[in-house]
Structure 1
Amino acid sequence: MDKTQWNERKKIIEKALVEELQEDKALDPRLCEAMKYSLTAGGKRLRPILVMAAADAIGATGTDYIHIACALEMIHTYSLIHDDLPAMDNDDYRRGKLTNHKVFGEGMAVLAGDALLTQAFEVILRQDNVPAEVLVQVVREVAIGAGPNGMGGGQSIDLEAEGHQMAMTIDDLRKMHGAKTGALFRAAVRSGAIVAGAKPEELTALTRYADCFGLAFQITDDILDVVGDEAVIGKPVGSDERNEKSTYVTLTSLDEAKKMAADAVNEAVDALSMFGDKAAFLRELVECLLNRNK
């Protein structure tokens, strides 16, 4: 795909993220430094970009919703900081850099994640030109996506399943990752659609797209853990096997996992049929998952 639009929006998002964390205004500059370390460590910025692209599909201007977009990235970053901790996945590198706890210590890493999650909701509520009752809807969407029936719940299932690979089925895996990975994608897409004034049928279609996007993303993530280039993806490959995690590759095969990813992408594209050219970027985003290398 032509990544011009993606890169333009990444620049807008990354500039705004830096502005959200100002050490000179922080109660403890060291905590702010730890938050900024992970928040500005790079990444695809998929979740904030999905907020914008969903709003575009409804006919609004996605870049108008920069605060909501930034909040989704802050919550995603918090989850990565915590996921890397010794009590979770115990990873030393993320995006080619030492993980947060390796630089700042475990206690500060926990606090950095907590602070990013909490500040994200304050950032949402500073979004301009959106009625208060709509922002409340967005807060609810994001809270559900990050909470015990969303990302938090999925991470809990993942933690409990670790080391018990044979106990998992494909249906279990879909349930787990639909929450751990998919729920925040769903929250991003639905939030962008809601602030743009989506009709019920449009919101339903975009929710279906988001669910399929999340599934395709997770399957391709599992594939990269087997065949990816460590220098490109920025973290060691094979960590799923070392941690005895069930994945779409271990429960089926590499070829079957690739087919499942392609099917999910096709279903996501089908969900966008009512939007025509306004959803062109959303189509490109999900289709590029099949060729991702990080």
Structure 2
Amino acid sequence: MTAAVTSMDSTSQGGAAGFDFKTYLTDAGARVEAALDASLGPERPESLREAMRYSLLAGGKRLRPILCLAACELAGGDSELAIPTAVALEMIHTMSLIHDDLPAMDNDDLRRGRPTNHKVYGEANAILAGDALLTRAFEMVALRSPGVPAERLLAVVGELSMASGAPGLVGGQVVDLECEGKQVDLETLEYIHLHKTGALLRACVLCGALIGGASAELLDALRTYARGIGLAFQIIDDILDVTASSEVLGKTAGKDLAADKTTYPKLLGLEESKRRAEALVAEAKAALEPYGAGGKAAPLLALAEFITSRDR
């Protein structure tokens, strides 16, 4: 976590004077890491638990669970109550990475600087570890979220179901695979990324806000915010796939080019892709401006800027 933010000035993100973004990321990341570690206790079969822990605790920026906590705070809620849901979101994200890396999908050997799950545990165990993480995510929300009203948890379960299933990342992955080696227009590319990547980011902010008791007006603003950061996040991913090394990324660089996938740089060029990402972040931030740049919105505003400034 620290390595991802060392290049940033602590108050440079989000435009909130006195808001220490680097410290916020570090503190929130530590809370998330502790909760992730505690989420998979001693249980059988141990081989499955080991495979689940291998990928879940492999590090990363933890942006998704941190977005959940920040959205809960913006809604006026206690972010401690959102920790189980934040863990659930990271479990779903980890499942998607394990499955994306499989030979039948993106066929990758490296993830977060280490061999991918199927390279260590075999394809069958990797599939089952992903399945177990996905179902454990719903357990975290439904059975391990004390103090949260049942109607809010039900709404969270609905959001997670939509984000992780055919209307979300699964559907996006299918279209992504179908489009390999084909000419893809911008509309189709955005469809893929709004589902494969954007749907879970949207769920992060909406689930956190729902736990915090957000109003309908705030939820609408967060939907706009999430769309902007979701697309911007993927554009930066596409740019880094071209410009960064495997050592920096912690995953195989240039794999989109090797798979003949349409990406934003391939379709728009690097400079236009960067401009588009910046414009999307500006739109995302504008949606939250009514909620105060210097107050509870500061973490989400800073996270939006971080998406376009990250180097991995």
Give the TM-score of the pair, scaled to structure 2.
0.91
Spell out, residue by residue over 1:25-44, the C-alpha distance to the aligned partner (whole angstroms, 9 max, x if none). x2210000000000000011
For residues 121-270 of structure 1, what are the structure 2 equivalents within 5 Å?
121-125=138-142, 126-164=144-182, 166=183, 168-270=184-286
SS for the counterpart of 1:128 is coil
SS for the counterpart of 2:296 is helix
- Specify the code of the residue in structure 2 equivalent to 1:84: D
Post-superposition offset of 1:245: 0.5
Post-superposition offset of 1:144: 0.3
Gaps in structure 1 of 5+ consecutive residues: none
SS for the counterpart of 2:262 is coil
SS for the counterpart of 1:85 is coil
CA distance in 2, matches of 1:95, 1:112: 17
The answer to whether the aligner puts 1:7 opposite 2:23 as a matched pair is no
SS for the counterpart of 1:212 is helix
SS for the counterpart of 1:89 is coil
The answer to whether the aligner puts 1:115 opposite 2:115 as a matched pair is no
User: Residues 229 and 293 of structure 1 are in contact (CA less than 8 Å); yes or no, is this contact kept in structure 2?
Assistant: no
- Specify the code of the residue in structure 1 equivalent to 2:238: D
- Specify the code of the residue in structure 1 equivalent to 2:258: R
- Specify the code of the residue in structure 2 equivalent to 1:39: L
Post-superposition offset of 1:229: 2.8
SS for the counterpart of 2:202 is helix
For residues 27-106 of structure 1, what are the structure 2 equivalents within 5 Å?
27-106=44-123
CA distance in 2, matches of 1:292, 1:113: 27
Q: State percent identity of aligned pairs.
A: 51
Quote the residue 1:18 is aligned against.
37
Spell out, residue by residue over 1:213-261, the C-alpha distance to the aligned partner (whole angstroms, 9 max, x if none). 1011000000000001321111121110000001111111001100100
User: Residues 150 and 184 of structure 1 are in contact (CA less than 8 Å); yes or no, is this contact kept in structure 2?
Assistant: yes
SS for the counterpart of 1:208 is helix
Give the TM-score of the pair, scaled to structure 1.
0.97
Quote the residue 2:14 is aligned against.
none
Q: CA RMSD in A?
A: 0.9
Gaps in structure 2 of 5+ consecutive residues: 1-7, 11-21
Higher relative contact order (CA 8 A, sep 6+): 2
- Specify the code of the residue in structure 2 equivalent to 1:19: A
User: Residues 58 and 275 of structure 1 are in contact (CA less than 8 Å); yes or no, is this contact kept in structure 2?
Assistant: no
Number of aligned residue pairs: give it.
290
Post-superposition offset of 1:61: 2.7
CA distance in 2, matches of 1:87, 1:163: 16
CA distance in 1, matches of 2:225, 2:78: 20
CA distance in 1, matches of 2:35, 2:285: 30
Report which stretch shifted further, 230-239 or 256-265.
230-239
User: Residues 81 and 148 of structure 2 are in contact (CA less than 8 Å); yes or no, is this contact kept in structure 1?
Assistant: no
